[in-house]
Chain A
Amino acid sequence: MSAVAAEAGWGPMSKTRAAVWLSIIVGLLLAVCVVGGNIGIVFALLIALMLTGIPVSIALGLTVLLFLLLLTHVPIEAVALKLFTGIEKFEIMSIPFFILAGNFLTHGGVAKRMINFATSMVGHWHGGLALAGILSCAMFALVCGSSVATVVAIGSIILPAMVKQGYPKRFGAGVIITAGSLGILMLPSIPKVIYAISTSTSIGALFVAGLFPGMLLTAMLCGTTWFLAKKNNYPRMPKATWGRRWKAFRESIWGLMLVVIIIGGIYSGIFTATEAAAMSAIYAFFISVFVYRDMPFKNTPQVMKTSASMSAMLLYIITNAVLFSFLMTHENIPQLMADWILGKELGQAGFLFFANILLLLAGNVMEPSSIILVMAPILHPAAIRLGIDSVHLGILIDANMEVGLCHPPVGLNLYVASGISKMSITELTIAVMPWLGTMLVFLVIVTYWPGLSLWLPRAMGMM
């Protein structure tokens, strides 16, 4: 990414400027240490370690080790024990399964059929192919828990197609980057699993709660796209016949059936969330290799290896974050923070505003899982005491993570899209602006309209 960063005007600073910056940072961190006491030291240490560029997981773990060794009398064996028991929860194991399922879906031609179906439905409107891109992202998001996988799966097919039809490249890229982020909002989602684990919220309720907000965001993105496409007179496609639509639907039904497996399974109690994830991985494998036959069987080990290393990276962050939350509980930090936040008497609205700003800022430096693992334990107790529903907070955090995925410097969707479209990050950052604005409006709606997220899980009796 460094090359991309340099290209984006993030080149190296001169020595004097770097020295000034570094001393400002060191000064700030020291100030935090002095003002914040033990809490200050914990966070200053964490931030200092992170800024050296070491993996977030190791920064978390090392903070805990250093703090325990230097400032407390906690026997260090406690750390060793935590390392074993940290991820010994069956719920956490749904993450590798969802990643595996997502990778099978990406390689297995499911995306292609969904795009065909979406195109046959809305292709004849203004900006038809772009609208179809958004709809197919939404459909893919129903069965896939990762936004990067969604961008890869849909974007790698629809972007070249849009360019061929005469859309400007940046228009297509902007659409796909933002629509891809639906991947973590609609139904299953890896960030939601992580939130559920770190706050003991129901996974099923969180999955279902994302459906209506996801549909709203889809509609809003489509609205923006339609408006822009109409203004610039982008190409439309011939209207598909109903026969053709039916055929496209029948072909995509295999992929859409996954929704039934995941949500139906969890809702009716046939599966736990983890089992549903495992079944969807097997199902995705089956349709990719035997039904659609888009993925040769010999590629299976390769897909499994990629999934394994991605899951291991996430699980490693989780292990160390468990250590970190052990330290936080030991120092009573979540309670102190909650007291401090409540002492400010912000009220619900003020707190939610504050939480959004904090999460958006965090989205500038870290990727979603790390943010949730560090922030959720801090925000959750205060939110509960203010009477904010745990599921609502989860969806709010999720929506914030979506925004973070779509802008530099760490927005993964952007980097993936730059790989597909061969556009620079700077160009993409400008390209994504209209839809990013739409997402911010959406964020406000999600924040201050809890019913949007909470109605469905309540109606289904999941919470």
Chain B
Amino acid sequence: MTKILDLFEEWFITFLMGGATLVIFLSVIHRYGSGFAIPIMQDWLLSLNVSWAQELCIIMFVWMAKFGAAYGVRAGVHVGVDVLVNRLPEDWKKIATFVALSCGIVFTGIIGTLGLHFVWENGMHYAAFSTFGIATGDLPQGPTTPDLEWPTWAVYSAVPLGSYLMCFRFLQVTWRFIQTGELPRHDHAHVEGLSEDDGAFDVVAAPGGVK
């Protein structure tokens, strides 16, 4: 189950990264492409409205930020100040790490709940009730985004979803820490593809190049 979640998370952020890049690329191409007077092409391009590209890009990146942050907990990319903690005696260090992880759990939990509350009050309540045919009464329908006209509650639900996922990741990490005493750490010192570079540099590889 968590495997599926892991995979989904990774593919989701990869997709959002690539997607947003393409969206902006296409919108720029469109803006300048429609300036050329190619008979049928131009009419067709002008008929497309891509003013929503910017908004879509922002939404995609906000979602990427929230889910990527959750992935980051698992991969250990979030940087903290470990100057003091690293110098503490071993068992005190454990306590400090434990406090730190609990702070993470509490914070993401609170933010998730606040976000959910906000989203619920801003249209999700209405949407849920009207979907299930319950009388909505005077519940607000909630605002929509300016260009895409998507309901904001759906767009903003990145915050509760992402935060709860992050909270779950912190719980996972804490659980593993209690069991094994290990934390995930992103090793900045690790450089990919280092060994493949041998001999790729022709000026140096030439024998007799050294004077």
* A interface, CB within 8 angstroms of B: 1-2, 4-6, 10-15, 18, 21, 25, 49-59, 61-62, 65, 76-77, 79-81, 83-84, 87-90, 92-93, 96-97, 100, 107, 112, 115-116, 119-120, 123, 129, 148, 152, 156-158, 160-161, 164-166, 235-238, 240, 270-271, 274-275, 278-279, 281-282, 300-301, 304-305, 307-313, 315-316, 319, 364-367, 409-410, 412, 415-416, 418-420
Contacts A52-B99, A312-B64 known; list 10 others, CB within 8 Å: A55-B78, A55-B104, A58-B103, A80-B117, A312-B72, A319-B65, A415-B188, A418-B189, A419-B187, A419-B191
CA separation between A50 and B99, bound complex, in Å?
A: 11
CA separation between A57 and B80, bound complex, in Å?
A: 8
Decide if A80 touches B85 in the complex (CB within 8 Å): no
Decide if B111 touches A115 in the complex (CB within 8 Å): no
Smallest Cβ-Cβ distance to B82: which chain A residue: A53
B141 within 8 A of A: no
- Give me 21 A-to-B residue pairs in the complex whose CB atoms sit less than 8 angstroms apart, sorted by A's number: A1-B82, A12-B87, A12-B89, A54-B104, A57-B69, A58-B107, A62-B107, A80-B159, A84-B159, A100-B17, A158-B201, A164-B204, A238-B211, A278-B24, A282-B21, A309-B13, A313-B72, A313-B79, A316-B68, A319-B65, A410-B83
Main secondary structure of the interface of B (DSSP, over half): helix
Smallest Cβ-Cβ distance to A1: which chain B residue: B82
* B interface, CB within 8 angstroms of A: 10, 13-14, 16-18, 20-21, 24-25, 28, 32, 54, 57-58, 61-62, 64-69, 71-72, 75, 77-90, 92-93, 96-97, 99-101, 103-104, 106-108, 110-111, 114-115, 117-118, 156, 159, 185, 187-194, 197-198, 200-204, 209-211
Q: Among the listed B69, B81, B84, B190, which residue makes an inter-chain contact with A366, where contact means beta carbons less than 8 Å apart?
A: B81
Decide if A311 touches B64 in the complex (CB within 8 Å): yes
B91 to chain A, nearest CB (A): 9
CA separation between A235 and B208, bound complex, in Å?
A: 12
Main secondary structure of the interface of A (DSSP, over half): helix
Q: Among the listed A12, A56, A79, A311, which residue makes an inter-chain contact with B81, where contact means beta carbons less than 8 Å apart?
A: A56
In the bound complex, residues from chain A placing their C-beta under 8 Å from that of B32 are 270
Decide if B210 touches A166 in the complex (CB within 8 Å): yes
Q: Contacts A80-B118, A96-B64, A112-B201: A13 and B159 contacting too (C-beta < 8 A)?
A: no
In the bound complex, residues from chain A placing their C-beta under 8 Å from that of B66 are 312, 316
B111 to chain A, nearest CB (A): 6
Most buried by B among A1, A107, A148, A366: A1
A77 to chain B, nearest CB (A): 6
CA separation between A132 and B173, bound complex, in Å?
A: 44
CA separation between A270 and B35, bound complex, in Å?
A: 13
CA separation between A90 and B80, bound complex, in Å?
A: 27
In the bound complex, residues from chain A placing their C-beta under 8 Å from that of B68 are 308-309, 311-313, 315-316
A87 to chain B, nearest CB (A): 6
B101 to chain A, nearest CB (A): 8
Decide if B57 touches A93 in the complex (CB within 8 Å): yes
Q: Among the listed B83, B92, B156, B211, which residue makes an inter-chain contact with A409, where contact means beta carbons less than 8 Å apart?
A: B83
CA separation between A282 and B103, bound complex, in Å?
A: 39
Decide if A18 touches B85 in the complex (CB within 8 Å): no
Decide if B10 touches A305 in the complex (CB within 8 Å): yes
Most buried by A among B14, B24, B32: B24
Decide if A87 touches B100 in the complex (CB within 8 Å): no
Q: Among the listed A50, A80, A120, A240, which residue makes an inter-chain contact with B114, where contact means beta carbons less than 8 Å apart?
A: A80
Decide if A53 touches B65 in the complex (CB within 8 Å): no
Q: Contacts A61-B111, A62-B103, A316-B72: A152 and B191 contacting too (C-beta < 8 A)?
A: yes
CA separation between A431 and B65, bound complex, in Å?
A: 37
CA separation between A148 and B78, bound complex, in Å?
A: 16
CA separation between A275 and B23, bound complex, in Å?
A: 10
CA separation between A269 and B27, bound complex, in Å?
A: 15
In the bound complex, residues from chain A placing their C-beta under 8 Å from that of B187 are 419
In the bound complex, residues from chain A placing their C-beta under 8 Å from that of B198 are 160
CA separation between A81 and B122, bound complex, in Å?
A: 11
Q: Which 4 A-B pairs have the closest CB atoms?
A: A312-B68, A419-B189, A55-B78, A315-B65
B55 to chain A, nearest CB (A): 9
CA separation between A313 and B108, bound complex, in Å?
A: 14
In the bound complex, residues from chain B placing their C-beta under 8 Å from that of A307 are 17
Q: Contacts A11-B87, A160-B197, A275-B28: A53 and B17 contacting too (C-beta < 8 A)?
A: no
Q: Among the listed A2, A50, A89, A412, which residue makes an inter-chain contact with B86, where contact means beta carbons less than 8 Å apart?
A: A2
Most buried by A among B68, B77, B97, B185: B68
Decide if B103 touches A54 in the complex (CB within 8 Å): yes
CA separation between A55 and B67, bound complex, in Å?
A: 16
Decide if B28 touches A54 in the complex (CB within 8 Å): no
A241 to chain B, nearest CB (A): 12
Q: Among the listed A18, A129, A316, which residue makes an inter-chain contact with B65, where contact means beta carbons less than 8 Å apart?
A: A316
In the bound complex, residues from chain A placing their C-beta under 8 Å from that of B87 are 10-13, 18
Smallest Cβ-Cβ distance to A244: which chain B residue: B203
CA separation between A158 and B28, bound complex, in Å?
A: 37
Q: Contacts A107-B193, A313-B77, A420-B194: A278 and B188 contacting too (C-beta < 8 A)?
A: no
B23 to chain A, nearest CB (A): 9
A422 to chain B, nearest CB (A): 9
